Structure 1
Amino acid sequence: MDRKEVEKKVKKVVADVFHVSESKLTDKTNFIDDLHAKSMDIVELLAALELEFGFRIPQRDVRQNKTLKQAIDYMYEKAKKFKK
């Protein structure tokens, strides 16, 4: 899976979970500051990403990814390792 595919999937999941248009999301979109994510939103995002990509994401890793770009980068690296 290339980075563009990962980016597209992550944006779709984030847009669905936070009920926003994908066009409103940028690399700098911050889940807490911009999307007003609460703990349950993060749990829902985690579950949706795991379902979409088919691998588990440790909760400690979720806390480190505060922006959309960080989440995309993380999921891309994880997807590369998962496919090996």
Structure 2
Amino acid sequence: MDAEFQAEVVDILKDKAAEIFGSDPATLSADTRFIEDLHCKSVNIVQFASALEDEYEVEVPFMELNKKKTFGEAAALVDEKLSM
């Protein structure tokens, strides 16, 4: 995966986390974990999926995103969906 593209996707996730949880985006990274670090609930994963779908006009199934542990893994999923 292109490192620049991954950074772009991670930035979108960081911005969404800031919006949902009031997190400081500067404290988040590709290694940020949805459950352990942000304590995401199912509804939050849906919010992240929607943000990615809106940005990239690609379907990001909730159940697939829900299996990803980190922002970096989520970015890889978006890259995979765009490559199909």
TM-score (norm 2): 0.74
Unaligned ranges ≥5, structure 2: none
Residue 8 of structure 2: which of 5, 18, 24 is its match? 5
Query: Using the alignment, how far apart are the partners of 1:35 and 1:62 within structure 2?
Result: 15
- Higher RCO structure, 1 or 2 (CA under 8 Å, sep 6+): 1
**Could you say what the CA RMSD is over the residues aligned between the two structures, in angstroms?**
2.2
Equivalent pairs counted in the alignment come to: 81
**Deviation at 1:78?**
2.3
Q: TM-score, normalised by structure 1?
A: 0.74
1:64 equivalenced with 2:72 (yes/no): no
Structure 1 stretches of 4+ with a deviation exceeding 4 A read none
Q: CA 1:31–1:54 in structure 2 vs 1: closer, same or farther (change >3 Å)? A: same
- Percent identical among aligned pairs is 32
